Structure formats: C-alpha cells, structure tokens
Amino acid sequence: MASLHELNRLGQSIWLDFIDRNLLDNGGLQRLVDGGVSGVTTNPTIFHKAITGSADYDASIRTLIERDPNTSAERVCEALMVADVQAAADVLRGVYERTGGADGYVSLEVPPDLAFEATRTVAMAHHLWNAVSRPNVMIKVPGTSEGVEAFESLTADGINVNVTLLFSVEAWQAVAQAHLRALERRVAAGQDVAKVASVASFFVSRIDTLVDQLLAHRLRPDGSTPFANAKLAYQRFRALSAEPVVAAALAAGARPQRPLWASTSTKNPAYRDVLYVETLIGRDTVNTVPPETLNAFLDHGQAQATLDQNLDQAQRDVAALGDLGIDLDAITRQLESEGVAAFAESWQKLLGGVREKCAQVAGVAQRRDSRSDAPV
C-alpha cells in the first residue's frame, strides 16, 4: 500500500482526472486534497457524465433558464463547467499558496472544435480565463500545430496552459520550444515569468491499444512501448532543463513546464491496474488519474522512482518497433488525429446532453407552474 505523500516526496504530483458537483459539495475533493491530491483535470467526457448522469445540476440549469429562457446549450454548459472549476480551484487554493504556485491547479478545456484555429483558441482561452477568474486554473489547448501556436501566445500573455493530446517526443519538443519562446517574450517585455505555469500532457495508454493491434505479439508482456516513449520524453525534459537558456529562465523565476502523464487508466485487463502510475514516477512530473486508478494505487500501489530506470531498454524498445515494421511516428500522428476527433465528438455529446437536460428541466418547471395556476 502506498500513499500520495510518498509520491510527493519523490517529486511527483497526483492530479485527479475527474470532477462532479457531488464531489465538490460533499467535501470529497477536500478529503482527497488532504490525502495528497494536488490538482484536477477535466474534459468534455467527464462533464458529460457529471451533468447528465445525475440531478445534481438541475437546480443550476433551472436558474440559468429562468434568467434567460433563450439561453443556448453552449452558455449553460460553460456556466456549469466554470462554476465547478471555480469551486475546485477554491478547494485547491491552499495547495497553490503553500507550494508557491507550483501546484494546486484545475484544468478547463477550450472547446475541441477549435483545435485547428489558433486565433479562436486564443480568444476562447482568454474568455475562459477571465470567466473563472482564479490564479490556479489552467486552460487546456490541444497539441496540434495551431494549438501550440495558441499556447505560445497565451503563455506570453500570462495565462496558465495545459497542452494536451501529446503522443510523441517530437510533439513534446515543439511545445517545450514554444514555452521557451513565450518566456523570452515575457522577459523582453519586462513581465514576471514566475506567475505563469504550464504542463505538457503526454498520453500513454492509448499507444498500447494501437500498437497491440499492429503487433501479433508484444515486445514484452508489460506494455513497454508507451513507457519507452514517455521515458525518452522525460530524458529530453531533463536535458532541456540543463540548457543555458532554460537555466537562465529558471534563474529569473520561471517555472519548468512539467510533463503530465495522461490517459493512465489501464485499458488492457492483462496489465496491472496501476501500471501507468508505478512505471511513470519521477521528479518534476504530474500524473493525472481517474478515481478508479487512484483507489487502486492507494490500495496496492508501490511508490519508487522509475522514470530513470532501464533507459537503454527504452531505446531498444522504440528501435525494435521499427525493426518490426511499426512506424511509431505514424502511430503518434494517428493518435493525435483520433484524439482531436474523439474530444470534439465528446464535446458535441456534452452539448447534446445539456440540451436534453435543459428541455427536461424546463418541462418540469412548466408542469409545476401549470399545476400552481390551476383553479381550486
């Protein structure tokens, strides 16, 4: 049995990849924070399940409709998400202040249908940043080329960003370079670099799923490919941190852009259910986990630094894919494309669910009003 505080001592932060109104209203998030959770990530799928899977949001929806009967599903959805993110950020504000802004963040995603529109992504990110109005929020943007362009602009503007849907070392490298350019722009403009934070979300388990479809057998029965990929990205991160331009930025108070391991629930039942936690432990990293994975780790996980282990094997694992005719670059490009499409689909599903909720809530209100108006 491990504790999150053990991971913290090893230099890793654990963020919860989940949010809902019940967790916020009943003190559940505060208890998790007391146990060592130091951040929250959200996405359209999480919000869809939260909003449509219970009646917890009905009163808020009713209030929004009563204020403006012509309000759109997009506006209702945004209002509900912003309220949850604000509440979570308030719970985590103590972590943010105790760590000097190194931790305690809540992520809110720009609508995924803007993934290939840098200008609109920047505008929406500014809108969401102002709507939440909390220093410990991160706006999520995708790691497409347009998203990276938007990320650089937003970071230069002083907005905290979580760059998501990164699958390859090269994609992470492009984000890291954009981060450095943004910091240099802030320094040149005489702006404080210490007040802006960022993480680069590197997706891991999805690589297993696709590689397993392409291989008749695995390289080893432990799902080695995503870990090899992540370990190589982590080594690039460590090497980049030692470069003079980065060292100068850090000396000026800038925060390192930490790798964040995402998609860390185990998809293959043949693998250990905490595999994507135990194998990705390293200093200056974040792992965002769903509740089931968090509970499994607390029950039977083991906390020890692993990202710096077996680096030669990681190199061999990646090289072996090429020997087997598997193009890892093509795989990661496919995963990025599929990831953007899946997030966009989830966003549309969320909007559709909110529209249905609005209609249900409005119908209940109308029936209630008609009964109250009936003659006695």
User: Distance from CA of residue 2 to its chain's centroid?
Assistant: 23
pLDDT tops 70 at residue 92: yes
Judge whether 204 lies within some domain.
Answer: yes
Judge whether 370 lies within some domain.
Answer: no
Judge whether 62 lies within some domain.
Answer: yes
pLDDT digits (tens, 9 = 90+) for 314-340: 888 777 777 777 777 888 888 889 889
Residues sharing a CB contact under 8 Å with residue 262, sequence separation 6 or more, in sequence order: 17, 41, 164, 201, 202, 203, 204, 288
Judge whether 45 lies within some domain.
Answer: yes
Query: pTM for the whole thing?
Result: 0.91
Judge whether 338 lies within some domain.
Answer: yes
- Report the SS3 class of residue 272: coil
Nearest of 109, 107, 86, 135 to residue 40 by alpha carbon: 107
Q: Which whole number is the average pLDDT over 69-78?
A: 95
Judge whether 375 lies within some domain.
Answer: no
Per DSSP, what are the bridge partners of residue 289?
Answer: 16
Q: What confidence score (pLDDT) does residue 252 get?
A: 85
Look-up: residue for tokens 């982590």?
234
Judge whether 372 lies within some domain.
Answer: no
The Cα–Cα gap between 199 and 188 comes to 23
Rounded alpha-carbon distances, angstroms, from residue 3 to 9, 118, 264, 296: 10, 40, 17, 11
Q: What confidence score (pLDDT) does residue 206 get?
A: 62
Domain that holds residue 244: 4-362
CATH number at residue 269: 3.20.20.70
**Backbone angles phi and psi of 256, in degrees to 5:** -65, 145
Q: What confidence score (pLDDT) does residue 220 get?
A: 46
User: How many structural domains compose the chain?
Assistant: 1
Judge whether 367 lies within some domain.
Answer: no
Q: What confidence score (pLDDT) does residue 321 get?
A: 72
pLDDT digits (tens, 9 = 90+) for 109-161: 999 999 999 999 999 999 999 999 999 999 999 999 999 999 999 999 999 99
pLDDT tops 70 at residue 207: no
**Is 140 among the catalytic positions?**
yes
Structure tokens at 295: 């509970």
Percent with pLDDT over 70 in the chain? 90
Q: Which whole number is the average pLDDT over 188-202?
A: 94
Q: What confidence score (pLDDT) does residue 326 get?
A: 74
Among 49, 140, 195, 357, the one annotated catalytic:
140
DSSP 237-268: HHHHHTSHHHHHHHHTTPPP-EEEEE--S--S
Residues sharing a CB contact under 8 Å with residue 14, sequence separation 6 or more, in sequence order: 4, 7, 8, 36, 37, 38, 39, 286, 287, 288, 289, 294
In this prediction, residue 190 has a pLDDT band, given cuts at 50, 70 and 90, of: very high
User: Distance from CA of residue 108 to its chain's centroid?
Assistant: 8
